[in-house]
């Protein structure tokens, strides 16, 4: 047989091709790309400041004539700009808290999985214990006890979300540990730390990417949840959750104050979930038929 037409195709290229075939994921990724650009640049281009109160137009419905495309709230603030500015906070929380949970989870999980034995048992038992806690209640407690501040939100959410990541990474590490290339490295006398950094972590990348993508919407949701309860970000800062909370108060008189932030939040979560799903299907060829 001729070997001429056999091109090397890395698993990453394979995954990339599978991902591009997933229409829901690609569409979602495009929407999110646009969303990020608009959220970052939008407020700078808008004629309104987020905290500007337009007393001539309080509770004005969406209209191009007034220049308030999404309408205004009770004190005449522009819903569009507030939604975009809230989006900055929500997306930032999503990103930062995910990175926090990523850093803790990957380190913890790969160490537990790689060292194994007693270390592993103790470390994972600890995870089990923390896992059984009513986690949202602790976040609320933290907010109450230490006061609301955005840094604490990052840390609190990130520090609690790492549990799943640690479990997944540990499981993956355990199975990687017994592969031949790791055994080969051990046989060559490569140090443990170097094996973890050079051989284990790069091979964990697939799962970690998938899981991180799915963590982002979770984190955004938690932040919105806190903000909705009035325990998240404080005025004049805003987030989507806080805006939905505001909007829910004026539900009957000014439904647009609820609907626009709620829509943007939902679309974002929807898209992230689809991207995560698509990545999982692409990177985990197990259930290809």
Partner 1 sequence: MTGHAGILRHAIQRLLGVIPTLLVLVTIAFFLIRVAPGGPFDAEKALPAEIQANLNVKYHLDEPLVQQYLRYLGQILTFDFGPSFQYKDWTVNELIGEGFPVSLTVGGLAMLLAFVVGTVIGVTAALRQNTAVDYGSMGFAMLGISIPNFVIAPLLILLFAVFLGWLPAGGWDWSLNRMVLPVITLALPVIAYVARLTRGSMIEVLHSNFIRTARAKGLPERAVILQHALKPALLPVISFMGPATAGLITGSVIVERIYAIPGLGSYFVQGALNRDYTLVMGVVIFYGLLIILLNFTVDMLYAWLNPKIRYDEKR
Binding footprint of partner 1 on the chain (CB under 8 A) = 125, 128-130, 132-138, 140-147, 217, 221, 224-225, 228-231, 241, 244-245, 247-248, 251-252, 255, 258, 262, 265-266, 269-270, 273-274, 277, 287
d(CA 127, CA 142): 19
Cβ-based nearer residue to partner 1, 72 or 218: 218
Nearer to partner 1, 79 or 182 (CB): 79
Minimum separation from the CB atom of position 173 to partner 1 (A): 23
CB of 247 to partner 1, least distance (A): 7
| Residues paired with residue 72 on neighbouring β-strands, in sequence order | 78
User: How far from the centroid of its chain's Cα atoms is residue 199's Cα?
Assistant: 26
169 token code pair: 């990474």
Q: 24 or 190, CB closer to partner 1?
A: 24
Q: How far is the CB of 61 from partner 1 (least distance, A)?
A: 15
Q: Which lies closer to partner 1 via its Cβ, residue 235 or residue 287?
A: 287
Q: In whole angstroms, how close is the CB of 230 to partner 1 at the nearest point? A: 8
In the bound state with partner 1, the residue whose beta carbon lies nearer, of 40 and 136, is 136
- Determine the 3-state secondary structure of 56 from DSSP: coil
Q: Please report how close the Cβ of residue 75 comes to partner 1 at its closest, in angstroms.
A: 20
Q: Give φ, ψ of 278 to 5 degrees.
A: -60, -45
- The rounded distance, in Å, linking the Cα atoms of 8 and 157 is 42
Q: Alpha helices, DSSP H only, in the chain?
A: 11-21, 23-45, 79-115, 117-131, 135-146, 150-177, 180-187, 192-194, 201-228, 240-249, 256-283
Using DSSP, state whether 5 is helix, strand or coil. Answer: coil
């Amino acid at each position: 047989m001729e070997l001429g037409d056999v091109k090397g195709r890395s698993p990453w290229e394979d995954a990339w091709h599978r991902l591009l075939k997933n229409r829901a994921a690609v569409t979602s990724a495009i929407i999110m790309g646009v969303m990020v650009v608009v959220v970052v640049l939008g407020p700078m281009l808008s004629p309104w400041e987020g905290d500007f109160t337009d007393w001539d137009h309080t509770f004005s419905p969406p209209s191009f004539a007034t220049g308030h495309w999404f309408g205004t709230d009770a004190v005449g603030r522009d819903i569009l700009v507030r939604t975009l500015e809230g989006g900055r906070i929500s997306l930032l929380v999503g990103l930062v808290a995910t990175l926090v949970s990523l850093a803790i989870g990957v380190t913890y999980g790969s160490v537990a999985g790689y060292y194994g034995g007693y270390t592993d048992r103790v470390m994972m038992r600890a995870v089990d214990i923390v896992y059984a806690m009513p986690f949202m209640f602790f976040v609320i407690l933290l907010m109450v006890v230490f006061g609301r501040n955005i840094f604490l939100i990052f840390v609190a959410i990130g520090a609690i979300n790492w549990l799943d990541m640690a479990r997944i990474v540990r499981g993956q590490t355990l199975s990687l540990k017994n592969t031949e290339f790791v055994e080969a490295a051990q046989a060559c006398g490569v140090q443990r730390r170097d094996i973890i950094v050079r051989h284990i972590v790069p091979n964990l990348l697939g799962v970690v990417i998938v899981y991180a993508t799915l963590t982002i919407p979770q984190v955004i949701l938690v932040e919105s949840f806190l903000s909705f309860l009035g325990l998240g970000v404080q005025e004049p800062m805003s987030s989507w959750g806080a805006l939905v909370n505001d909007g829910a108060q004026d539900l009957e008189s000014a439904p647009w104050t609820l609907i626009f932030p709620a829509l943007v939040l939902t679309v974002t979560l929807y898209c992230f979930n689809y991207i995560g799903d698509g990545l999982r299907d692409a990177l985990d060829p197990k259930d290809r038929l």
